[in-house]
């Protein structure tokens, strides 16, 4: 048990999927895992452990934003022995060829600041995904029939951004989409020698203003869970 996770020793699997929303964690566990059981509900941040094709898996919410994810990623790795952490969530498209419902596999993540920035002082650390997970996820994603993109993303440290100049420059430099967690996940995993990846579905688009209807988000989320599970155990 930690300050933020009430799971007992042995309750958390080495493979952890991390959606931001704890209710999505509950839905994913009940939909994809055999014999899921709730192992954490501290502060309403739900975590479930079960098996997928005989492999132990935990699906645990991270909350929104890098500070929240950093707490859970650190404790899952440091205190519970998690070795593979895969973020599954939504993102906003930033390139014209990245369409609504497309899947983005985040190879790298640009950011202004993360909770780990203090570790590096003046150094601009480059957070990146585990290459083995990235390759396996790409192979799994190809089976879904969705549009697939692999490349750099932007992990924002604010939700209500008033920096159109940043968006312009990131678009110019090929950044595929924006979300709020991956850069810190990659950094924490690297610090502790764990594997990490972010599998993202484009739910809205910064250039076109399009947005995925709420009723369609569940099915798109299901694709991400399948890709993440296939990649974790490839």
Planar angle of CA 142, 146, 151, nearest 5 degrees: 75
Q: Is residue 1 included in any domain, yes or no?
A: no
Q: Is residue 94 included in any domain, yes or no?
A: yes
Q: What is the pTM of this model?
A: 0.95
What's the rounded Cα separation, in Å, for the pair 146 and 158?
29
Determine the 3-state secondary structure of 77 from DSSP: helix
Q: Is residue 114 included in any domain, yes or no?
A: yes
Determine the 3-state secondary structure of 234 from DSSP: coil
End-to-end CA distance of the chain: 30
**Quick one: which of 44, 50, 66, 41 has its CA closest to 17?**
50
> Exposure of 120 by Cβ count < 10 A (0-12 exposed, 13-18 middle, 19+ buried)?
exposed
pLDDT of residue 51: 98
Q: Is residue 134 included in any domain, yes or no?
A: yes
pLDDT of residue 140: 96
Q: Is residue 7 included in any domain, yes or no?
A: no
Q: Is residue 3 included in any domain, yes or no?
A: no
Going by the DSSP 8-state scheme, the letter that residue 3 receives in this structure is S
Residue 204 falls in the annotated catalytic set: yes
Q: Can you give the pLDDT of all 234 residues of the chain as single tens digits? A: 899 999 999 999 999 999 999 999 999 999 999 999 999 999 999 999 999 999 999 999 999 999 999 999 999 999 999 999 999 999 999 999 999 999 999 999 999 989 898 888 889 999 999 999 999 999 999 998 889 999 999 999 888 888 889 999 999 999 999 999 999 999 999 999 999 999 999 999 999 999 988 777 767 788 899 999 999 999
Q: Is residue 2 included in any domain, yes or no?
A: no
Please tell me which residue in 79, 157, 204, 216 is annotated as part of the active site: 204
pLDDT of residue 163: 87
Segment 53-72, tens digit of pLDDT: 999 999 999 999 999 999 99
Q: Which residues pair with 178 in a beta bridge?
A: 92, 154
Number of domains in the chain: 1
Planar angle of CA 23, 53, 59, nearest 5 degrees: 20
pLDDT of residue 215: 72
**CATH number, domain at 25?**
3.40.50.1580
Residue 133 in contact with residue 216, Cβ under 8 Å?
Answer: no
pLDDT of residue 19: 96
Q: Is residue 139 included in any domain, yes or no?
A: yes
The residue segments making up the domain with residue 191 are 15-232
């Amino acid at each position: 048990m930690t300050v933020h996770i009430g799971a007992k020793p042995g309750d958390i699997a080495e493979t952890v999927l991390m959606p931001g929303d704890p209710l999505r964690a509950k839905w994913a566990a009940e939909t994809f895992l055999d014999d899921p059981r709730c192992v954490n509900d501290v502060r309403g941040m739900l975590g479930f452990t079960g098996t997928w094709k005989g492999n132990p898996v935990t699906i645990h919410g991270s909350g929104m934003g890098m500070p929240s994810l950093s707490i859970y990623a650190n404790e899952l790795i440091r205190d519970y022995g998690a070795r593979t952490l895969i973020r599954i969530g939504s993102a906003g498209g930033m390139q014209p060829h990245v369409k609504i419902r497309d899947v983005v596999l985040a190879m790298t993540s640009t950011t202004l600041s993360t909770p780990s920035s203090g570790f590096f002082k003046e150094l601009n650390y480059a957070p990146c995904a585990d290459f083995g997970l990235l390759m396996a996820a790409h192979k799994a994603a190809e089976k879904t029939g969705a549009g697939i993109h692999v490349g750099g993303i932007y992990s924002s440290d604010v939700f209500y951004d008033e920096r159109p100049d940043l968006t312009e420059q990131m678009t110019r430099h090929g950044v595929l989409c924006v979300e709020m967690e991956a850069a810190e996940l990659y950094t924490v995993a690297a610090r502790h020698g764990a594997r990490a990846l972010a599998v993202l579905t484009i739910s809205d688009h910064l250039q076109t203003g399009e947005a995925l209807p709420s009723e369609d988000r569940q099915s798109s989320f299901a694709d991400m869970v399948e890709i993440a599970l296939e990649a974790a155990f490839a």
